[in-house]
Chain A
Amino acid sequence: MNKFKHLSIPYLIWMIVLVLIPILILIVMAFQETHGIKIFDAKFTFNNFQVLQRKDILQSLWLSFLYSAIATFCCLLIAYPVAYIIARAHFKNRFLVLTLLILPMWSNTLLRTKAIASLFMEGNIITSMLEKIGLFVKGLNIYEKPVAVIIGMVAMYLPFMILPIYTVLEKIDKSLYDASDDLGADRFKTFWKVTFPISLKGVTTGIILVFLPCATGFGVAEGLGEYRLIGTYIQQQFSKDATYGVGSLIAIVILLVITIALFVVAKVDKEGETLL
């Protein structure tokens, strides 16, 4: 194993330059009150921490986690059966089906968000087409409503849930099913006692892959008219307000919360079944 140690050097450099150093800068910035980056006249301050006492910010944090949790749960509900069916199916073009599932990811996220947003409005491309043939129908009008944001998040991140679950399910040794069958378990029991426990690592990976971008992103929510999430607030600090210190602080708080959560998962899951 040691022979290949030096192969990890590029990755190490990559991580130091693009992950470690930026996080250190974030931490330093969290204790400064400047507009933009002004390294030379920076002053140490705790003022930014006041933001953590603000009700609207706490509400934003709470809402972000709530939205992401619901979206992740919906993703799981949809993705597991799909992954299961594809993994167990006997058809030849399995690869084609998987490609079709990933296909939406090939187009631009912003564009997809805009398209979804437009469909959720009272007047959209479908209603105007129907109008041309004389049918006056009103659109859904759920733009800006929580359900729109959840649907948007699910649509955007579903493939991230399907793929890891599928990968795990597909790799399950078929002889395990035979063994379970021989020992007298019915199909339901086989699934509950054999398939599901093994697939848990895929599920955990999927949950992490979906939950993180939902909780910290702003593009999807903002595109669908929801300005209250924490991602929007952080983004505003870095573009419109240029109060980088406050933005950095919130970013670090989220980073901490997520790290602690992952740490707990890793502790509970001692066998290292998830891909942590």
Chain B
Amino acid sequence: MKKILLCFAIIIIGTFSLTSCKKQKLYLLNWNEYLNGSLVQKFQKKFNCKIEAIPSESNEDMYTVINNGQYPIDVAIPSDYMIEKLYNENKLNKLDFSKMPNYKADMFDDNLTILRNSYFEDNESYAIPYFWGTIGIMYNARTSGLEDIILQNGWDVFFNEDLINKNEVKIGMYNNPRDAIAVAELYLDYSLNTIKEDELEKVRELLVKQNQTFDVKYASDDLKAWVAQGVNLDFAMVYSGDFFDQLYILEEEGLDNYINIYIPEKTNIYFDGMVIPKTSKNTDLAYEFLNFMLDTDNIVENVEYVGYCPCTKAAIAALKEDEYYSQIIETYDAFYPGNAINGGELYHDLGDSIYVKLADIYRSGTIAK
């Protein structure tokens, strides 16, 4: 009996001593694998705090977390259209740039600046770009003849029976309404922000027909691995960063030159931005985090883990100096999203009723067989 009591006492004291250290907490709402762990350590040590990372799988999940107030989120990193939605609903704090010594208005890449200038008014005051990218067609070059067809036809390969042998080629689609629909819109030459009833119905028909005709797999993070493996998928729509993620994995194994990505001229270009939602309770620490993530060395360290293209001029210049990354930038146009600035379109916030509609269209596509 005494032993049992002793065990209990140890467990209870242990848990209390763990929870009772009163470190400040920074609630960070972020994507999976989107921040280098070494930076987390560094930040925690420097500011004697703890980063409480809330992982998220989609922009919509992030919205739900912020909207429901499940956590007092201090910093979130949603994508462009979700930033716009949060801004429209007055859920973001206007940033106080005087609290971020590392921030300079002209520090961001010129093409990105053009993009942000075209976005909703004053977006610069509410979000600081974190990474940016495009969507493209990741393919396995070992499938014979596929590379030429993709390079010549772009988005058509997802839908056109005449180009692709429907019995042999397997296609990957992102399991997220907005991105899956974007592929159809790019093929049909519609705007990625269309809300026209007839156009959206065409999109629905197309996605249904696609799933009925071809062997289509809807997934998210698995897509890149399946394409690389080559048996389960031949090509898929992915975010440019996903491709580089997979490339680094293959390079570590010494097999790098059989996957590739093609960004057609018309594409979606996006940026993820750090915002401070109104749920934040530890706002000063949030500013410290934003400032920390604007430091060029830290950005480069983050790129080494995440694999996406950084947003600041200084960081891109630093990568161009680097032996390894200069080669990547030279070999793959997809690494630098600025290359797609002419045909790239940003997503906009379309309003709740359209999102319900998009989700419904997406569902029609996924359940058609």
Q: Footprint of B on A, CB under 8 Å?
A: 35-37, 56, 60, 121-123, 127-128, 138-139, 143-144, 225, 227-228, 233, 236, 238-243
B232→A123 contact, CB < 8 A: yes
A242→B60 contact, CB < 8 A: yes
| Chain A CB within 8 A of B333 CB | no
**Min C-beta distance of B355 to chain A, whole Å:** 7
Q: List, in ascending order, chain B residues with CB within 8 A of A128's CB.
A: 229
**Min C-beta distance of B138 to chain A, whole Å:** 16
Give the docked Cα–Cα distance between A37 and B64 (Å).
9
Q: List, in ascending order, chain B residues with CB within 8 A of A139's CB.
A: 231
* B interface residues, how many (CB within 8 angstroms): 26
Partner of B230, one of A37, A123, A225, A228: A123
B355→A239 contact, CB < 8 A: no
Task: Tell which of B188-196, B304-312, B360-368 binds the partner.
Answer: B360-368
Partner of B231, one of A121, A225, A240: A121
| Chain A CB within 8 A of B298 CB | no
> At the interface, is chain B mostly helix, strand, loop or mixed?
helix
Q: Mind listing 23 A-B residue pairs with CB under 8 Å? A: A36-B64, A37-B68, A56-B364, A60-B367, A121-B226, A121-B231, A123-B229, A128-B229, A139-B231, A143-B217, A144-B217, A225-B218, A227-B363, A228-B366, A228-B367, A233-B363, A236-B363, A239-B60, A240-B60, A241-B60, A241-B355, A242-B352, A243-B356
Q: List, in ascending order, chain B residues with CB within 8 A of A225's CB.
A: 217-218
A144, A227, A239 interface centre (most CB from chain B within 10 Å): A227
**Min C-beta distance of A22 to chain B, whole Å:** 14
Within 8 A of A (CB), among B182-231: 217-218, 226, 229-231
Q: List, in ascending order, chain B residues with CB within 8 A of A138's CB.
A: 231
Given contacts A233-B363, A241-B356, 16 further A-B contacts (CB under 8 A): A36-B63, A36-B64, A36-B68, A37-B67, A56-B367, A121-B232, A122-B231, A123-B229, A123-B232, A139-B231, A239-B60, A239-B61, A240-B58, A240-B177, A240-B359, A242-B352
**Min C-beta distance of B232 to chain A, whole Å:** 5
Q: List, in ascending order, chain A residues with CB within 8 A of B175's CB.
A: 227
A127→B217 contact, CB < 8 A: no
| Chain A CB within 8 A of B123 CB | no
Give the docked Cα–Cα distance between A20 and B203 (Å).
42
B359→A241 contact, CB < 8 A: yes
Give the docked Cα–Cα distance between A224 and B177 (Å).
19
Give the docked Cα–Cα distance between A64 and B363 (Å).
16
**Min C-beta distance of B90 to chain A, whole Å:** 14
Give the docked Cα–Cα distance between A242 and B82 (Å).
14
Q: List, in ascending order, chain A residues with CB within 8 A of B61's CB.
A: 239-240
Chain B 330-356 near chain A by CB (<8 Å), digits 1 or 0: 000000000000000000000010011
Chain B 42-69 near chain A by CB (<8 Å), digits 1 or 0: 0000000000000000101101100110
Give the docked Cα–Cα distance between A121 and B170 (Å).
12
Closest-by-CB residue of A relative to B60 is A240
A37, A121, A139, A238 interface centre (most CB from chain B within 10 Å): A121
